[in-house]
Amino acid sequence: MINRVVLVGRLTKNPELRYTPNGIASCRFTVAVNRAFKAQNGEQEADFTNCQAWRKQAENLANFMKKGSLIGLEGRIQTGSYEGQDGKRVFTTDVVADSIQFLEPRNGTGGSQGASNHESSTNTGGQYRSSSQGQYGGNNNQPSYTRADEDPFANSKGPIGVSEDDLPFD
């Protein structure tokens, strides 16, 4: 059986780091992922996916990313349920992240200048890796684009200016 999820999107709010009674770091967050098509009215629609990270990747996410940050994650879907305050059963669906990649510069709000991939993964013991090759360079398992029309940001110079007011989330 296969249960794999890959998402690329923006954080809808600042990640909040918490710890279990045993001292294990946990972070719940929501990723806004644009749909591949626009609505009939021409507006871009997005799906808001609830996610969870554990241990070192949860700490890295909370320490280095904020509302609006572009991330990529790979993980698995996990469902659950609990009894709500009204006594009714509430069902949940979350993506539990196995690895998270930070797809923008730490001090920027977008663009590709100086972009580097930072990955935190429970599969590697929570190590924090950084590649100086950039988002599309080197041998870091990232796609290699050969046609300029396939990647609209391939030739961009400098950061793309996006203010907090331009973001569609709280």
Per-residue pLDDT reduced to its tens digit, 110-147? 443 333 444 444 443 333 333 333 333 344 444 444 44
Kindly report, residue by residue over 56-106, the tens digit of the pLDDT.
Answer: 999 999 999 999 999 999 999 999 999 989 999 999 999 999 999 999 876
Distance CA 89, CA 104 (A): 39
Domain ranges in the chain are 5-166
Distance CA 155, CA 86 (A): 54
Distance CA 25, CA 17 (A): 7
Q: How confident is residue 10, by pLDDT bands cut at 50, 70 and 90?
A: very high
pLDDT of the residue at 40:
85
Distance CA 22, CA 20 (A): 5
Distance CA 100, CA 15 (A): 13
Distance separating the N- and C-terminal Cα atoms of the chain: 37
Average pLDDT over residues 20-28: 94
The CATH number of the domain covering residues in 5-166: 2.40.50.140
* The two structure tokens encoding residue 138: 């080197």
